Structure formats: structure tokens, C-alpha cells
């Protein structure tokens, strides 16, 4: 099989999604399949194919489209800056993906709703399309905004146009795919809420390359435990949605009861300085180590005693599975997909989301009971080894690929107007084909014939589908 794994986002800097794509590509390649990865390169602002010297310069195309998406003619694009930014970014992604080519693959596997919908729009022939839904885009955007506006409620956010836009993108992405892969029942329910038939949704939990994990874990740990103190650990992005601020609040409460611990927060992100300030305000600045990003988490976990995943929303983070494989029964927030990763009191612990007091209570219990940590940690390692292997994930994914390859990919039942060629749902007044625009504003531009050939003749910008 010739398989394309593609994401709208930055290819190698997306944490769990990058881990998922890399591991899956390596495993499929080892079985004789040809796998190509497509995504954005953040630093160079290009769309590219990994391990190939093939790039699409997004900057020039962005600059060409920008003046022709003005607010007077297309006011719906300018209701909020976020909407315009995402839509223009998607059009640039669509042009780049078409130029890089979609025709030579047996199956395309999109890693987010934006790329799934974008690829369906630009297909000139119906290549089977599988989409993984790794999270709930609209809810994730809410937590991003709440990080900037702490008092913002979900009800208030749902009244904003940006919420409706992200919900629409989730719907379009889900309905554009032939089949959908999800890692948890929770995210499956989110997809089902967009009107997707249950038989198109396949639950396949994430897996870890156990051999690679053991090799990494055998390397000397990058952490230096403090003598006489146990190590609490978190690994991930330092963003509001990850709930690290909840962990620090819990540590402040814990410090009032006992001081036989240190906490290592491994990762980078926009909230680093805010979290440092919070740690000082909570009186734990000397007990919390912000280590920066650690490339070898399996090795680091060998020096940890407790692992915490305090996310406000997370589907099934790899770090939780890695903690279980390290013999640590993790403490996870009881929200979204995380409770499906543990059996409370047996292979992990569940505390209410955003409840610092409950998290502090659980940490205190685990700190004072070595036998409990050892017993549940052993059960966690056994469960993860049996249920979270990369082999199991790959085989389940291949079954979905084979089913998608045998399906009729176009049109899909219930696909909204604008999700296929423009002829499916009509055109927006003033919409244009990018090649026609380039022919007028930049005669002789070498990109014009490329887009003329690569994009469907009835492909149009702006997209009527988001209306």
C-alpha cells in the first residue's frame, strides 16, 4: 500500500500527534508499505513531504490571496480574527497539498478535521480518505481562550462566531472522511454528535513501540532525584489546556502537609513564566523544577515515583501510557478520554478535573504508601504492555485502511455543500479559482499552471462550505 499521513499542523512539533504519525509510519514501513508524511514546517513556513526534498512555499501564496479576501465582499470571514486566520491558512494548505500531489496514494490518513476536509476539497479523483480525530477542536479552542480570559465560561464562548466556526470545521472534517479512527469512546461520541454514522467510526487506542520504549528506558535518567524525597512528574506542553496550573495549586496545598517530595515539570510552552510565578506564589518555587523539554521521557520516568496528567481536556496522552509502562500508576484528571486509560485504584487514579484539593489528597496518599504505589504500578505496567502495544494499534489501523480502500469515496452520504467540488453545493458570489487570480495579478507566475493542473477546475476560494 502507498499511504500518505498528513496533518494541517506543524509536522514534528505537535507532541502526541507527531509521536503517533512517526511510530505508525515506521511500523507500516517495516511491513513493506510505502509511507509518506506531509505537514507544515513552522520555521520555514512551508508545506513539505518529510524525508523528501519537496517543499511548497506558503508565504508567497498567502500574500497573493490575502488582498482578495476583503471584509466588504466576504464579511463572514472577518467576524473574528481567528476565523480569517484559519480560513486563509486552510486555503494555503489546500493549494500546497494539491501542488505536492495526492494522486499516487492508495489511502490518505488525515490527522485532524482541517486537513481531512481540505484534502477532500482538492481531490481530482476519490482517493480513500481516513481521518483520525485526536481531540475536540472547538473545546480545545475554548480552553485556549480561557487561558487569556480566566473568567470565560463555556456558555459565553459558545455564543461567539469562533465557536461556531470550529464546530463547523469538526463537522466538515468528520463528514469528509470515508472512515474515522478515534482512540477513545469519548472522542467517538464527539464525532457521533456531528451526524456521523456509528459504522464509520472505529475505536483504536494508541499504542507504544515497546522495544523502542525499553531501549530508551535503559538509558541513564536525565533527572537527579533529591535524596530522601520522592519525585512527582508531569511531561507535556505548558499550555492552559494541559492543567499544569492545577498541579501547581495542588502542590501548594501538599506543601502545607509534607515536604518529602520534589516535582519535575518537563516541557515547554507559552505559560512557562506564568507557571514559575504561580509556583512562587504557592510557596513551592524551591520544590518545583521546570526542566524544559526532555527528549527521553521513558528514561526520565525511571527516576519518578508519581506521574500526574492534570489536563482539562486530553484524549489519550502517550505520557500516561509511558508512565504505566514505567511501573507508575498515573494520576489523571477525570475528564474526556483519560478515565478510559486507567482502572481507578488498580492501574491508575482518577481525580476530578480542575480540583486542586482532590489532587493534593491523592498525592499525599501515594507519598505515604510505598506498598500501594508498588502494587498499582506493577498492575499498570502489565495492563499497558498487554493493551497498548504498537503492533495492536497498527493492525487495527490497517484493517480500517483496507476497508476504506474498498469503499466508494465520492460522494459521501450527507456531505455538506462545499465539501466536494464547488458544483456539489454552488459557489459563493465573488469566489475565484486561485489559478485565475494568479493569471491576472502575476502573469507568468510559475505557480499558476501548477495550481491550474493540480486543483479541480471548479475549486473555489472562499469556500461556501463554511457558511
pLDDT for position 417: 46
C-alpha cell at 387: 493493551
CA distance 42 to 24: 22
C-alpha cell at 7: 496533518
**Residue 353: partners with Cβ closer than 8 Å, 6 or more residues away:** 243, 246, 310, 311, 312, 333, 334, 335
Distance of CA 160 to the CA centre of its chain: 23
CA distance 84 to 88: 6
pLDDT averages per 10-residue partition of the chain, 467 residues: 96 86 96 97 93 92 96 94 96 98 95 97 94 95 92 96 96 96 95 94 96 96 92 96 97 97 96 98 98 94 97 94 98 96 97 98 98 98 95 96 82 50 64 96 95 96 92
| Nearest CA-CA partner of 162 in 142, 147, 133 | 142
CA distance 19 to 25: 10
pLDDT for position 89: 97
State the pTM of this model. 0.92
| Nearest CA-CA partner of 214 in 122, 327, 345, 83 | 327
pLDDT for position 410: 52
pLDDT for position 146: 93
Amino acid at each position: 500500500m502507498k499511504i500518505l499521513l498528513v496533518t494541517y499542523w506543524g509536522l514534528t512539533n505537535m507532541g502526541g500527534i507527531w509521536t503517533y504519525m512517526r511510530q505508525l509510519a515506521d511500523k507500516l514501513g517495516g511491513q513493506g508499505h510505502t509511507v509518506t508524511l506531509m505537514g507544515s514546517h513552522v520555521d520555514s513556513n512551508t508545506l513539505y513531504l518529510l524525508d523528501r526534498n519537496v517543499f511548497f512555499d506558503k508565504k508567497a501564496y498567502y500574500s497573493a490571496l490575502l488582498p482578495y479576501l476583503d471584509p466588504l465582499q466576504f464579511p463572514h470571514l472577518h467576524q473574528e480574527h481567528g476565523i480569517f486566520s484559519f480560513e486563509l491558512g486552510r486555503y494555503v494548505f489546500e493549494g500546497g497539498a494539491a501542488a505536492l500531489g495526492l494522486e499516487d496514494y492508495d489511502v490518505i490518513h488525515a490527522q485532524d478535521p482541517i486537513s481531512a476536509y481540505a484534502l477532500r476539497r482538492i481531490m481530482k479523483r476519490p482517493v480513500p480518505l481516513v481521518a483520525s480525530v485526536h481531540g475536540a477542536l472547538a473545546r480545545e479552542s475554548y480552553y485556549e481562550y480561557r487561558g487569556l480570559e480566566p473568567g470565560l465560561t463555556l456558555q459565553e464562548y459558545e455564543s461567539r462566531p469562533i465557536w461556531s466556526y470550529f464546530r463547523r470545521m469538526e463537522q466538515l472534517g468528520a463528514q469528509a472522511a470515508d472512515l474515522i479512527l478515534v482512540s477513545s469512546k469519548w472522542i467517538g461520541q464527539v464525532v457521533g454528535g456531528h451526524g456521523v454514522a456509528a459504522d464509520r467510526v472505529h475505536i483504536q487506542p494508541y499504542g507504544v513501540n515497546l522495544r523502542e520504549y525499553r531501549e530508551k528506558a535503559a538509558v541513564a535518567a536525565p533527572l537527579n532525584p533529591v535524596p530522601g524525597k520522592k519525585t512527582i512528574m508531569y511531561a507535556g506542553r505548558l499550555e492552559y489546556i494541559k492543567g499544569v496550573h492545577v498541579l501547581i495549586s495542588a502542590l501548594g496545598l501538599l506543601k502545607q502537609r509534607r515536604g518529602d517530595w520534589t516535582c519535575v515539570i518537563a516541557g515547554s510552552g507559552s505559560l512557562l513564566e506564568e507557571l514559575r510565578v504561580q509556583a512562587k506564589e504557592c510557596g513551592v518555587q524551591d520544590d518545583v523544577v521546570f526542566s524544559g523539554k526532555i527528549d527521553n521521557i521513558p528514561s526520565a520516568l525511571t527516576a519518578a515515583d508519581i506521574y500526574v496528567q492534570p489536563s482539562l481536556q486530553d484524549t489519550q496522552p502517550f505520557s500516561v501510557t509511558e508512565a504505566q509502562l514505567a511501573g507508575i500508576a498515573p494520576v489523571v484528571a477525570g475528564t474526556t478520554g483519560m478515565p478510559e486509560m486507567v482502572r481507578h485504584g488498580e492501574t491508575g487514579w482518577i481525580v476530578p478535573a480542575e480540583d486542586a484539593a482532590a489532587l493534593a489528597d491523592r498525592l499525599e496518599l501515594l507519598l505515604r504508601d510505598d506498598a500501594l504505589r508498588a502494587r498499582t504500578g506493577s498492575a499498570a505496567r502489565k495492563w499497558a504492555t498487554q493493551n497498548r502495544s504498537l503492533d495492536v494499534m497498527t493492525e487495527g489501523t490497517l484493517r480500517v485502511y483496507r476497508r476504506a480502500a474498498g469503499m466508494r469515496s465520492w460522494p459521501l452520504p450527507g456531505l455538506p455543500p462545499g465539501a466536494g467540488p464547488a458544483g456539489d453545493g454552488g459557489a459563493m458570489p465573488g469566489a475565484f479559482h486561485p489559478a485565475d487570480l494568479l493569471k491576472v495579478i502575476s502573469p507568468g507566475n510559475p505557480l499558476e499552471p501548477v495550481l491550474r493542473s493540480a486543483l479541480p477546475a471548479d475549486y473555489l476560494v472562499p469556500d461556501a462550505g463554511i457558511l
